Structure 1
Amino acid sequence: MPADKPSGLRVEVAYARPEKQVVLEVSLPEGGTVEQAIQESGILDQCPEIDLASNKVGVYGKLAKLNAPLRDRDRVEIYRPLIADPKAVRKQRAAQ
């Protein structure tokens, strides 16, 4: 490993509220996981409505597990639950 490259990971943790998006950058050791990034970012304190037991998470739009390992420059995303089923909404629009 080159001496000028810092060891560890730099990742973003993102969560979109209806009124604004929260994006925080965090540094983790090599082998850091999605859950570690979320915990380290402090986003759970800023957004108490997040429940990791029920909210889905992903990396760059692909669903991921909390124990999934991260790579440098990854973007961890925390997803809000859907308010309406997209299929039901399309069906309703088509019926009109």
Structure 2
Amino acid sequence: MAVKQLNVEVAFALPHKQRIVALTVPEGTTARQAVSLADLPSLFQEVPSDTFTQAPLGIFGKAIRHPEKEALREGDRVEVYRPLQIDPKAARLERAKRQAKGQ
């Protein structure tokens, strides 16, 4: 019996560059395996390759707790999340300080 194939996508974005890689993978492929199959390091050579092996992942905007165990379904889009450049709380504090000075 043939293994069922699934059509999925893997997405990654930088502020200046975005890519969505369409893949056909065997049923049972995990989110982390799909990211590996997408070969993102070759598309984003400016990013350390371990980013893609260790980054948090999500499916359609919902974070995955265990991407090594999360089997994909037909049509899923795996999203690779990059680290935040600044803590959101610190960013809000800095904006509030700038606004207070401008008044």
What is the TM-score with the length of structure 1 in the denominator? 0.81
Report deviation, 1:66.
Answer: 2.4
Report deviation, 1:89.
Answer: 1.3
Over aligned residue pairs, what C-alpha RMSD do you find? 1.7
Report deviation, 1:29.
Answer: 0.7
Count of aligned pairs between the two proteins: 90
SS of the residue corresponding to residue 69 of structure 1 reads coil
Tell me what 1:32 maps to.
29
- Partner AA of 2:57 in structure 1: V
* Gaps in structure 1 of 5+ consecutive residues: 1-5
Report deviation, 1:46.
Answer: 1.8
SS of the residue corresponding to residue 82 of structure 1 reads coil
Tell me what 1:66 maps to.
67
Task: Indicate the percent of aligned positions where both proteins have the same amino acid.
Answer: 39
- Distance, in Å, in 1 between the alignment partners of 2:26 and 2:18 is 26
Alignment of 1:1-96 (within 5 A): 7-48=4-45, 49=47, 50=49, 51=51, 52-53=53-54, 55-64=55-64, 65-67=66-68, 68-95=70-97, 96=100
Report deviation, 1:7.
Answer: 2.6
What is the TM-score with the length of structure 2 in the denominator? 0.77
TM superposition outliers: structure 1 runs of 4+ over 4 Å: none
1:38–1:44 CA contact under 8 A, matched in 2:
no
- Distance, in Å, in 2 between the alignment partners of 1:86 and 1:71 is 32
